[in-house]
Amino acid sequence: MIYKILRQPEWRAAIAQGKLTGSPVDTADGYIHFSTVRQVRETAARHFHLETDLVLLVVDPEALGPDLRWEPSRGGDLFPHLYAVLPLDRVLASYPLPLGRDGLHVFAAAGL
């Protein structure tokens, strides 16, 4: 599985549109950023530090076809990037991503 962290207003907008076109960072970069299970905690800490109104999306990378590319990013690690809109029927689950007392996001609801 791959994971996308969004702010709740971005997720609500995607639901209203029936598709996810991406966050402002995604739009600026020209693709939708995802993380693997090994990368998602660092993504949360680095790009969503102390943010409380977040949602975690779970997506099967096999369902995205050739528009999903694995490209080097932080430290040369390969990250999944989607060069297309994300149809919401490809989202397997969404979970709240609360902030713990220690200032780190809690992934327990997603089983991570």
Output the pLDDT for position 76. Answer: 84
- Cα separation of 20 and 85, whole Å? 6
pLDDT band at 55 (very low <50, low <70, confident <90, very high): very high
pLDDT band at 109 (very low <50, low <70, confident <90, very high): confident
| Mean confidence (pLDDT) of the chain | 95
Structure tokens at 98: 């609360």
Whether the pLDDT of residue 74 is over 80: the answer is no
What domains can you pick out in the chain, each with its CATH number? 2-98 (3.20.170.20)
- Cα separation of 5 and 51, whole Å? 11
Output the pLDDT for position 49. Answer: 95
Whether the Cβ atoms of residue 17 and residue 70 lie closer than 8 Å to each other? no
Whether the pLDDT of residue 65 is over 80: the answer is yes
For 34, residues 6+ apart whose C-beta sits below 8 A from its C-beta are: 2, 3, 4, 59, 61, 68, 79, 80, 81, 82
Whether the pLDDT of residue 23 is over 90: the answer is yes
Among residues 68, 84, 83, which one has the least CA distance to residue 36?
A: 68
Among residues 87, 108, 88, which one has the least CA distance to residue 98?
A: 108
Percentage of the chain modeled with pLDDT above 70:
100
Mean pLDDT, residues 77-101 taken together: 96
Structure tokens at 16: 């209203």
